[in-house]
């Protein structure tokens, strides 16, 4: 038989397989790199989208914080206005009280008794006056305790005066507590 050398054909086949293998490796590497690039791009898109959402939420949160601060300021102003209105209502409601208390003193003052001074400290009113007798002072205290506007008369001092000081025979000091009648207090609530 003739001398046929099969080695070059096998070498060529081996070289061809190497080239196909290298081409396959290059294609796999290119596809892998492409997939990595696409996956990175998708992940970067997701991250950017999430950042945009976070920035939007931060903006909305800061707007809501400003609104909350405004609401707090408005609530504080509302409380101040309510307090002012209450003070004004109290002043309006209490405006007639001094006149009513003085009217109580005038209507309950027995004959022969008069006041020389009247001083108010808180809810207590200190009275100084003169009377012809101790009996009239007792009547004054009884009449004051029957008043709706005055309670708890407390006699501090009674002195007999000498002839030159005052025209009356006795001077006295007493204190009485100012109250509001139940009808007035109930109407205010």
pLDDT tens digits along 59-81: 999 999 999 999 999 999 999 99
CATH fold label, 97-188: Gyrase A; domain 2 (3.30.1360)
- Using pLDDT thresholds of 50, 70 and 90, give the confidence band for residue 189: very low
**Cβ proximity of 140 and 110 under 8 Å:** yes
Q: How many CB atoms lie within 10 A of CB 126?
A: 15
Per the DSSP assignment, residues forming a β-bridge with 158 are 172
DSSP per-residue codes, 52-121: HHHHHHHHHHHHHHHHHHHHHHHHHHHHHHHHHHHHHHHHHHHTTHHHHHHHHHHHHPPTTEEEEEEEEE
- Domain ranges in the chain are 97-188
171's enclosing H/E stretch is strand 170-178
118-172 confidence digits (pLDDT tens): 888 878 888 888 888 778 888 888 888 787 777 788 788 888 776 555 555 788 8
SS3 166: coil
């Amino acid at each position: 038989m003739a001398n046929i050398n099969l080695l070059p054909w096998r070498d060529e086949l081996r070289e061809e397989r190497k080239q196909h293998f290298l081409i396959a490796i290059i294609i796999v590497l290119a596809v892998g790199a492409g997939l990595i690039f696409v996956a990175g791009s998708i992940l970067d898109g997701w991250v950017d989208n999430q950042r945009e959402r976070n920035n939007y939420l931060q903006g909305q949160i800061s707007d809501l914080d400003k609104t909350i601060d405004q609401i707090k300021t408005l609530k504080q102003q509302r409380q101040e206005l309510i307090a002012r209105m209450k003070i004004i209502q109290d002043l309006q409601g209490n405006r007639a009280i001094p006149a009513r208390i003085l009217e109580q003193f005038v209507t309950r003052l027995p004959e022969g008794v008069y006041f020389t001074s009247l001083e108010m400290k808180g809810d207590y009113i200190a009275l100084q006056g003169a009377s012809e007798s101790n009996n009239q002072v007792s009547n004054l205290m009884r009449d004051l305790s029957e008043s709706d506007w005055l309670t708890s008369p407390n006699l501090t001092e009674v002195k007999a005066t000498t002839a030159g000081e005052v025209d009356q025979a006795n001077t006295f000091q007493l204190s009485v507590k100012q109250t509001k009648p139940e009808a007035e207090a109930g109407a205010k609530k």
